[in-house]
Amino acid sequence: MTGPTTTASGAAAGAATAPAVLQVLQVPRVLSIAGTDPTGGAGVQADLKAIAAQDGYGMAVVTALVAQNTRGVRSVHVPDAAFLREQLDAVSDDVTIDAVKTGMLGTAEVVRVVVDWLREHRPERVVVDPVMVATSGDRLLDADGGAAMVDLVALADLVTPNRDELRVLAELAGSSATDPLDAARAVARHFDVRVLAKGGHDGGPTSDDALVAPDGSVRVFTGPRIPTGNTHGTGCSLSSAIATLVARHGDWELAVGAAKTWLTAALRGADALEVGQGQGPVDHNAAVRAALPTPRLTDLWWDDATEVLEETLACSFLRGLADGTLDPEVFAGYLAQDVHYLRAYEQHLAAVAAGSPGDAAAFWTTASEGCAAEARDLHHRRLAGSHADDPVHPVCAGYLAHLAAAAREHTATGDVSVLTAAVLPCFRVYAWVGDRLGTAPVGHPFADWITAYGDPGFAASSARATELVEELARRADPGLRGRMARAFRESVAQELAFFRMPEAFATEPEDRPTAV
């Protein structure tokens, strides 16, 4: 769909408007329940570093005192279980906990204390790092404790086992699967929990982590394999980072992806730390040390959609549009559906305008009016009048249903945040496509369309729309921010589906309009 346009004066006004001061996000308050590492590379010490590195506030309840260093575990002392419960109650009686991460628990009694406390005080997000076997091979949880883990995993939102622990959990789930992905699916299905099957100890040039949902769906997060032997505490650190990031963003996929990016930087800096003579720790502050800027939330959403965007630019419709070989009949069929889309999109933008203050309302109103003009002028010049009434294609209907769902949340709550996130990809994807398509040569059959994609005024409108959505995302709580992220992600996917829709016209000749 051609994105909404603005008048020249409207675009200029939008570009000239100074961005509002962005509200500081609430710092996530994250509790680690784990053992210690006196060398600081693992356990609660690593957890607190990882939480702080994600700009979270870390708290720690100690389950076990561990005599260990970079070369291995020497001994473990487990304090009285009643004192453990006193620590847990002291925190929950006073502090709002946004997320909990559990690590080494040591014994069945300790596991049961944590389970009982979680049943009474469970925060919204629980990440379980089922520390049973260290990567060094040391056993960190006795057999009875392993059996007690069943109740703890059942309370979790996400579990992050290493390969040995994944095998143990699969056995507890009644599976003898040897393939890590099959084992993760068995655990996810049995315990109704997300499972992160990590690939850090596999071979190959990449490290691929698979996030497996209870329904068996999988999203793979790929990163470069960092050539270092200093990986002590990576499991502790990754799970704590995820817990912090999900408490901020409200979305597990965003949290895992961002945590993996951070851990990759921490691994790159690990060798320079020179801590210990064995398997040293990662550099939790590598990203801070490199002064990496914190990305805008909307840019994080955009980066999360990179694969879909690459598929979009590679689709046959856009390739044919760019080089002028696109069948005009196929293009006409696309336009007929675009008119359906723009009529609905105009109304959604008008609703956003009605629910927005001041300058934001003026911008969204101008964008809504631009949709009406676009449907009336550019589309109708290329369509015979009869085709304006062609039925809505199922792909177009699916996109409109997604926008309608976002609009219903606005109607129910009076908050336009999710709806603005859902409409933003029509701006950003089309401005991005226009930039990639470039300028059409004289005589190009689709010059007017490519020119509309690459219009500087529309690029300015896209930038302004992004600013407005960014402002809303920063003001939102994590739950709302997560719904915004998912609405944006789905709209990007729907944009790809819409561009691919003309490929089906060749098999639907009776529905294809005629170009003029």
Report, as residue numbers or ranges, the catalytic residues: 198, 231, 233-236
Least Cα distance to 233 among 47, 64, 32 occurs for: 47
Rg (CA), the chain: 26
Who contacts 232 (Cβ-Cβ below 8 Å, separation ≥6)? 41, 42, 70, 276, 278, 279, 280, 281, 282
Least Cα distance to 73 among 141, 165, 140, 129 occurs for: 140
Name the E strands within 78-135: 99-102, 126-128
| Partner residues linked to 61 by β-bridges | 33
Residue 99 has which token pair?
A: 């997320």
CA distance 233 to 263: 11
Kindly report the number of other CB atoms within 10 A of residue 357's CB atom.
8
Compute CA 235 distance to the chain's CA centroid, rounded to the nearest angstrom: 20
CB distance 66 to 35 below 8 Å = yes
CA distance 72 to 511: 69
CA distance 295 to 305: 15
Give me the half-sphere count of Cα atoms (radius 13 Å) on the Cβ side of residue 334: 23
- Give the position of tokens 């994080």: 300
- Give the position of tokens 């007929």: 336
